[in-house]
Amino acid sequence: MAGLKRTHLCGKLSLQNLDEEVVLMGWVHRRRDHGGLIFIDLRDRYGIVQIVFNPDLAGQAFSKAEEVRNEYVLAVKGKVTARPSGTINPNLTTGEIEIYATDLKILNKAKTPPFYISDDVEVDETIRLKYRYLDLRRTEMQKSLILRHKTTKAIRDFLDKHNFLEIETPMLTKSSPEGARDYLVPSRVNPGEFYALPQSPQLFKQILMVAGMDRYFQIARCFRDEDLRADRQPEFTQLDMEISFSDRETIITLVEEMMQYIFKETLNLDLSIPFPRLTYYEAMERFGSDKPDLRFKMELVDISDLVKSCNFKVFQSALATGGKVKGINAEGCGNYPRRQIDDLTKLAISCGSKGLAWIALTDEGLKSPIAKFLTEEELNNIIKKMGGKQGDLLLFVADSPSVVATVLGHLRLEFGKRLNLINPEEFNFSWIIDFPLLEWDPEEKRYVAIHHPFTAPLEADLDLLESEPDRVRAQAYDLVLNGVELGGGSIRIHNRSIQEKMFKLLGLTKEQSLEKFGYLLEAFEYGTPPHGGIAFGLDRMIMLMARKDTIRDVIAFPKTQSASDLMTQAPSPVEPKQLKELHIKLDIVTKKSSDVN
RNA sequence: GGCCCCGUAGCUUAGUGGUUUAAAGCGCCUGCCUGUCACGCAGGAGAUCGUCGGUUCAAAUCCGAUCGGGGUCGCCA
């Protein structure tokens, strides 16, 4: 390095280093040229320190400093000096000192960056992603990646203390039915055959339990070829765990202690445990979501019994077909203009509702298009049950229980944001338990697993498995943080015949289950311990901890919504030779040619 | 696949009921400046308004298509 060796870090210097001769290396954060005196803020990962170039003390270094520009990479030799009184900068951790440069080496020049390396400029994400190496120089981004590192370190430390083994599982594995679309990798040595990248290490970790590993974890990359969202990337990271001889309580308690440890180690926050638990049914009934944001109340109110004999046909027909009528009270929104209520109706319809009934308790009295169908008594009972008072807006949805829940759940969140009911500082954890095991898929005309096909039913519900599959509850649990599903897990089936029964319920033939999962079924016959586990979306967790709105901000090199990497330009076409080796012929239907057809 | 939003100097934005030279701040370049720290002062360069097509005497502005980015529904066991 031009004959110099770094002795100190820019951000770590203080009055304690007074009069020391130091060699620093870093990037030019800013340069202030006063003509006869030059200041350079030198930046490394640890912070910023001010270098002073004075022609009277070091003429050569000074003249070299004149040609320096932002983001040049420098090696600076100099002496740590206390700043003259009145020039202390309280905004810098190193603000009490400065370095009097005696020697300057330009290690590398830099083009003027396309955007400022600074946290207070909002730059278009396209440019940030294209020049990710510049974006990642910003302290805000470095803070996120440091938090990520600290979190995974805390996880490893905690789990190591609790006898977990970190074990890697294959990335090239077997495509399985159920679940998300697989990313496929062609096998050159087995023409026409494909590996799948793992959607999660689920089966491998269960096999590791069969193998007697007792406690396993992995910080595992997972792949799902589905559409992207702010909190969904095609490749993402799971904290995956599995424990033998465990029941639900063991796992829930361990996870609570782990979260407490992680938040203490990384954010120095004390989480109070145990976390509250809600059953799936309760969460849907009260909050209209299986991942309710419990940072605010605004619960759903069931008014079905209050309107069971009213004259409003929409309510009547919903009730007659086994549905419900429920509402929420948007407090203080009673004077919304009609247009705003229409917008809410649109939102409701986009969530699957047929419409939105409302009662506005305006300053000029009650306004409601449905009032004429209700008796005075019915109206009063509804308002009373919903805690309505002057200035409130009561919104109602009548439909099947699941539609009612979805629609009101969305409206509830909308008002939570709109009315600032959410404390952004809060970390609100909760467990959702007793999920249904199965769900009828009308499109595929079969049951699908709500969690996954390896989840064990609640023992109390085992008898229902064949008679009433949709009433069977699962030994599954989700951890929810601030309305985001952080992770989910279950106690697994560890018995071949129950697992086969499960596959059968999911519509797999015996041949299919053997072809896809035969190794698991066989393993189950060689002494499988009861076991269970959980997996967390690490990106989401760190996003919440860093108070970001997208996991892209806590992933070093994320992809765009169209699953491309703007820096490397992946994905991209490959050489015909590569395809030939893989025995792959392309069959691309372009939009234009399909229009012609 | 559906719906919605965005695209103007390097960056952030203004300008859009259709008219001549597209405006500003920051950045960049040059000069001056020995205590600044988002240094200051003076001057300068820099944009065929994402792309293609249409309407029009005239388009950054209106229309259509397309590309790119984002949000969301579907999808995500």
What number of other Cβ atoms are within 10 A of residue A467's Cβ?
A: 8
Answer yes or no: is A402 CB < 7 A from strand B.
no
Answer yes or no: is A564 CB < 7 A from strand B.
yes
- Note the pLDDT of residue A197: 97
pLDDT, one tens digit per residue, over A531-542 is 999 999 999 999
pLDDT, one tens digit per residue, over A229-242 is 999 999 999 999 99
Q: Take residue A341 and report the two structure tokens written for it.
A: 């209520």
Answer yes or no: is A442 CB < 7 A from strand B.
no
Answer yes or no: is A224 CB < 7 A from strand B.
yes
Percent of chain A with pLDDT over 90: 89
Q: Take residue A424 and report the two structure tokens written for it.
A: 């952004």
> CA A131 – C1' B68 distance (Å)?
16
pLDDT, one tens digit per residue, over A312-337 is 999 999 999 999 999 999 999 998 88
Cα–Cα distance for residue pair A141/A557, rounded to 1 Å:
11
Answer yes or no: is A448 CB < 7 A from strand B.
yes
Residues 39-58 in A having a C-beta less than 7 A from any atom of strand B are: 39, 41, 50, 52, 54-56
Q: Is the pLDDT of residue A592 over 80?
A: no
> CA A352 – C1' B3 distance (Å)?
14
Q: Is the pLDDT of residue A591 over 60?
A: no
- Nucleotide nearest A232, from its CA to each C1': B76
Q: Kindly report the average pLDDT of chain A as a whole number.
A: 94
| pLDDT confidence bin for A589, thresholds 50/70/90 | low
ipTM greater than 0.90: yes
Residue A298: CA count within 13 A, CB half-sphere: 31
pLDDT, one tens digit per residue, over A41-95 is 999 999 999 999 999 999 999 999 999 999 999 999 999 999 999 999 999 999 9
What number of other Cβ atoms are within 10 A of residue A139's Cβ?
A: 17
Q: Measured between alpha carbons, how far is residue A265 from residues A46, A158, A253, A258, A270 in Å?
A: 19, 10, 18, 10, 10
Answer yes or no: is A178 CB < 7 A from strand B.
yes
Answer yes or no: is A89 CB < 7 A from strand B.
yes
Phi, psi of A53 (to 5 degrees): -110, 115
- Note the pLDDT of residue A597: 29
pLDDT, mean of residues A21-25: 98
Residues 116-155 in A having a C-beta less than 7 A from any atom of strand B are: 116, 120-127
Phi, psi of A141 (to 5 degrees): -70, -40
- Note the pLDDT of residue A289: 95
Strand B nucleotides with an atom less than 7 Å from a protein beta carbon: 1-2, 10-13, 26-29, 32-40, 66-77
Residues 9-38 in A having a C-beta less than 7 A from any atom of strand B are: 30, 32-37
- Note the pLDDT of residue A593: 38
